[in-house]
Chain A
Amino acid sequence: MSSDSEKEAIEKKPENSKPTGEKSTAKPTSDDKPATAKPTSDDKPATAKPTSDDKPATAKPTPAEKTPPAKKPPQEEPELPAFEKGIADKIVDKFADKTTVSFVKPDRVGIKVDRDKIHDVAEFARDVLNYDHVDSVAGVDYPADNEIEVVYHLSSYTDPTLGRQILELATRAQREDKPNPGNDATRLPSLRDIFYSVEFHEREVFEMLGVYFEGHPDNRRLLLPEDWADLPPLRKDFRNKGR
């Protein structure tokens, strides 16, 4: 459930980023980090106690606890590698309110996009960020949210700097309880005109989850039998027999 992981990530980020921000600025200016940053001599103990009256008051209870957060930031930093963060920032800067960053890991960037902007974001990823093909398109059913998520994994052959990178664009469509694939509200814009490589992948998502891709030239079944009349099988309410 990536929605929860996002919330966690979003909740965590301010906590983690604040300490790093404070401490990184604190070390050169040397205001409020006297206790741990002893080596830098004179003014620290002197300025620290008067200036940081309010700080110790909040942070007093545990000087021992203060050191783990000081240790944590170096651990967090590799989790937000600069290059990957740059990719995420470029997208979020361009499509501010329509996108959210769900994760930034080494070589992996995950972006959540509103369904009406997915086409534009994909175009931006191709034209500006140099992603040139789609590795995989996965549909994930979230009956609790009443939504179906479609996840595109973008990658690049031509740009050597992106050789290791995967950009994950996720978007959500409304989910129908009684699906009538192709004729209900479970629709998303197709990316076939931007990334030709999604052609068969989107056909697969269409039959397996019942997401109709608007603008796809060939919305037919691919793997399932032609006369399949049950629910789309990768939806959660389709149960395997005996399970």
Chain B
Amino acid sequence: MSTPTLPPGLSIQKVDERIMTLNVGPQHPGSGHMRIIVQIDGDYIVACDPDPGYVHRGEEKMAEYRNYVLNIPHLERPVIHDSCNILYPYVLGVEELLGLEITERAKYIRVIAAELNRCVYIMYWLAIYGIFLGHSTMFMWPTGDRELLIDLLEKMTGARVTHSYFIPGGIRNDLPANFEEVCLRQVNYFEKRIKEYADVFYDNPILISRTEKTGILTRENAIRLGTTGSVLRASGIDYDVRKKEPYDVYDELDFETCVLKSGDSYARSKIPWLDMFQSCRIIRDALQKMPKSGSIRIKLKPNPKGALGSVYKRVESGRGALGCYIVSDKKPEPYRLKLSVPSFRNLIALPHLLIGEKLGNMPSVYWSLNYWPVEADR
């Protein structure tokens, strides 16, 4: 049989008798909407080829047809649990293109919403991490506790998950009466709750024995592969966009970045949890420093046109640095919009971490990358 001419993207591979190829996903509960093609030799992974794209929705193409305000609801779809943070760089970029300077109060409210959202995202991620490791308590607790913050965000924005709260020029609506008090109370209780996770999860010898010294990403590799966020900070590099390139009012707030040195799955799974304590700290500080009244939004003209040129803005999302590159040609719609998402950037590390690991460690290593398949696909 002659080999047929293949369209670009397809290839024919020889089958080895010893090596078994295994498709994990895209329907497997352990992979999300993504396929990981692993080749195993006995119990050990010898090759790994991540195959994302099952939830590619063409957000970037869609953005070229909608004006700067209409783009907001669909741009938060890639990661609805972190919807404030994925809109953040877009909104900052559009504000630069439109030449808007937002009010102080709006900046503080944005930071509070972004930090609440970061915790909501991390709790969801942690719940799935728990279920990946067969730890049902760690699935139930975070899903329950994150309701606290979802309620807060619902009070702020009117929606439980897809908030569409940030808009160019400020935020959509002001805080409800009595919000500061409720927020402080809930956040304090939330912090007390997440402290208890140490007993049941992070100090649990079973978790430690399963995740420690697996999937080690060295400092050099973390830099070379361009990883970001919790993956990067677990490998000992102190890089947080909130500290390095503070946007809005992060430079006035009191917090630290969490860095661990070991670079294994355990460190990668611990960093987001440590981040939540810092988020609580930021929220408390912001509630204190926030101007108690004032305008929250600059009214936009209908169909505002961006200035000619391009802009690249980035923020620290729940997963890492999230960049947004907008090219404007003086039209109400962006000429080109590119989301540089942390999940996509961290995906490149997956083959490096998995090769040489046991197949049984795959779920914990994979999910410790703080990976959200829908976001990577856009």
Binding site for B on A (CB under 8 A): 1-2, 4-5, 8, 103, 107-108, 110, 132-136, 138, 140-141, 151, 153, 157-158, 163-164, 166, 168, 181-183, 195-201, 204, 207, 220-229, 233-234, 238, 240, 243
Q: Which 5 A-B pairs have the closest CB atoms?
A: A197-B226, A136-B340, A133-B226, A221-B9, A223-B53
Tell whether B21 is near chain A: CB-to-CB under 8 Å. Answer: no
Given A222-B52, A223-B377, A225-B53, are A8 and B8 neighbors across the interface (CB < 8 Å)? no
B308 and A5 contacting across the interface, CB-CB below 8 Å: yes
Q: Which residues 325-343 of B sit at the A interface, judged by CB distance below 8 A?
A: 325, 327, 329, 335-336, 338, 340
Set of chain A residues within 8 Å of B340, measured between Cβ atoms: 135-136, 138, 153
B377 to A, closest residue via Cβ: A223
B327 and A108 contacting across the interface, CB-CB below 8 Å: no
Binds A, one of B102-110, B134-142, B237-245, B354-362: B237-245
Set of chain B residues within 8 Å of A5, measured between Cβ atoms: 308-310
Set of chain B residues within 8 Å of A199, measured between Cβ atoms: 348
Tell whether B58 is near chain A: CB-to-CB under 8 Å. Answer: yes
A153 and B312 contacting across the interface, CB-CB below 8 Å: yes
Set of chain A residues within 8 Å of B65, measured between Cβ atoms: 240, 243
A220 and B9 contacting across the interface, CB-CB below 8 Å: yes
Given A107-B245, A153-B312, A223-B377, are A197 and B345 neighbors across the interface (CB < 8 Å)? yes
Tell whether B297 is near chain A: CB-to-CB under 8 Å. Answer: no
Set of chain A residues within 8 Å of B338, measured between Cβ atoms: 136, 138
A217 to chain B, nearest CB (A): 13
A196 and B308 contacting across the interface, CB-CB below 8 Å: no
B321 to A, closest residue via Cβ: A135
A149 to chain B, nearest CB (A): 9
Set of chain B residues within 8 Å of A233, measured between Cβ atoms: 58, 61
Tell whether B70 is near chain A: CB-to-CB under 8 Å. Answer: no
Option from B51, B62, B309, B314 in Cβ contact (under 8 Å) with A135:
B314
Set of chain B residues within 8 Å of A135, measured between Cβ atoms: 226, 314, 321, 323, 340, 345
A200 and B53 contacting across the interface, CB-CB below 8 Å: no
User: 15 other contacts beyond A5-B308, A133-B223, A140-B336, with CB at 8 A cut-off?
Assistant: A1-B308, A1-B335, A2-B310, A103-B309, A110-B310, A133-B225, A133-B226, A135-B226, A140-B335, A183-B8, A220-B11, A221-B8, A222-B52, A223-B53, A234-B336
Set of chain B residues within 8 Å of A182, measured between Cβ atoms: 8
Set of chain B residues within 8 Å of A224, measured between Cβ atoms: 9, 53, 56
Distance in angstroms between the alpha carbons of A110 and B16 in the assembled complex: 48
21 contacts between A and B (CB under 8 A): A1-B329, A5-B310, A8-B308, A103-B309, A108-B312, A136-B323, A138-B336, A140-B327, A140-B336, A153-B325, A157-B239, A166-B314, A181-B8, A195-B226, A196-B348, A197-B225, A197-B226, A199-B348, A221-B9, A222-B51, A223-B378
Distance in angstroms between the alpha carbons of A132 and B329 in the assembled complex: 31
Distance in angstroms between the alpha carbons of A13 and B7 in the assembled complex: 49
Interface residue range, chain B: 35 or more
Distance in angstroms between the alpha carbons of A201 and B345 in the assembled complex: 8
Distance in angstroms between the alpha carbons of A108 and B325 in the assembled complex: 12
Tell whether B224 is near chain A: CB-to-CB under 8 Å. Answer: yes
Option from A2, A163, A183, A228 in Cβ contact (under 8 Å) with B245:
A163
Residue of A164, A207, A222, A228 with most partner-chain B CB within 10 A = A222
B309 to chain A, nearest CB (A): 4
B224 and A197 contacting across the interface, CB-CB below 8 Å: yes
A234 and B61 contacting across the interface, CB-CB below 8 Å: yes
- B218-243 interface bits toward A, Cβ cutoff 8 Å, 1 = contact, 0 = none: 00000111100000100001010000
Distance in angstroms between the alpha carbons of A200 and B321 in the assembled complex: 17
Set of chain A residues within 8 Å of B56, measured between Cβ atoms: 223-224
Binding site for A on B (CB under 8 A): 7-11, 51-53, 56, 58, 60-62, 65, 223-226, 232, 237, 239, 244-245, 308-310, 312, 314, 321, 323, 325, 327, 329, 335-336, 338, 340, 344-345, 347-348, 377-378
Set of chain A residues within 8 Å of B335, measured between Cβ atoms: 1, 140
Distance in angstroms between the alpha carbons of A2 and B11 in the assembled complex: 38
B244 and A240 contacting across the interface, CB-CB below 8 Å: no
Given A166-B312, A200-B348, are A151 and B325 neighbors across the interface (CB < 8 Å)? yes
A132 and B327 contacting across the interface, CB-CB below 8 Å: no
Set of chain A residues within 8 Å of B344, measured between Cβ atoms: 200-201, 204
Set of chain A residues within 8 Å of B310, measured between Cβ atoms: 2, 5, 110, 151, 168
Given A8-B308, A240-B61, are A138 and B325 neighbors across the interface (CB < 8 Å)? yes
Option from B7, B53, B232 in Cβ contact (under 8 Å) with A229:
B7
Option from B223, B245, B329 in Cβ contact (under 8 Å) with A164:
B245
B325 and A226 contacting across the interface, CB-CB below 8 Å: no
A71 to chain B, nearest CB (A): 19
Distance in angstroms between the alpha carbons of A136 and B230 in the assembled complex: 18
Set of chain B residues within 8 Å of A234, measured between Cβ atoms: 60-61, 336
Set of chain B residues within 8 Å of A207, measured between Cβ atoms: 9
Distance in angstroms between the alpha carbons of A181 and B8 in the assembled complex: 8
Given A2-B310, A163-B239, A234-B61, are A223 and B223 neighbors across the interface (CB < 8 Å)? no
Distance in angstroms between the alpha carbons of A210 and B192 in the assembled complex: 52
Option from A158, A200, A204 in Cβ contact (under 8 Å) with B223:
A158
Set of chain B residues within 8 Å of A197, measured between Cβ atoms: 224-226, 345, 348
Given A1-B329, A158-B223, are A223 and B62 neighbors across the interface (CB < 8 Å)? no
